[in-house]
Amino acid sequence: MILGITAIVLGIAFKNQNIAFMVGLAFAIAASTNFPALLMSIVWKRFTTAGAVASMATGLFLSVVLIILSKTIWVDILGNPEPVFPYKNPAIISMTLAFVVGIIVSLMTKEPEAEEKFEEMKVRKYLGIGAE
């Protein structure tokens, strides 16, 4: 119910916005949240669960906040004179910081068991051997 009501309220609030641009913002949120954790878990042996959680939380929070502070919402919807965040799409900033936070947190934490399993998973990831 809450999600449905939220969707209706947001739909009414954004009725005069370009739908293609709004879809781009949704992809910016998804990319900032998921891409850094997915890529680092595939290619980096030292990437930890704590790093993944921190990376995803940072990407989600930062992308949503920067969208709110951008011209699209801050000026067009809320009626403020100038945006706090100068760009229309936050992905270049939020995705980069999600990578940085994931790396820092992973370097600060250790998961020896996950590091051991990384090599055997590499064969499965690249070749599919043992994935049956």
Q: d(Cα 67, Cα 30) in Å, to the nearest integer? A: 13
Tally of residues, the chain? 132
What tens digit of pLDDT does each residue of 73-131 get? 888 778 888 989 888 888 999 999 999 999 999 999 988 887 777 777 777 777 777 66
Complete DSSP assignment for 79-95: --SS-SS--S--HHHHH
Burial of 48 (0-12, 13-18, 19+ CB in 10 A): buried
**What band does 132 get if pLDDT is binned at 50, 70 and 90?**
low
pLDDT score recorded for residue 23: 83
Tokens 């011209």: give the residue.
Answer: 71
* pTM: predicted TM-score of the whole model, two decimal places: 0.80
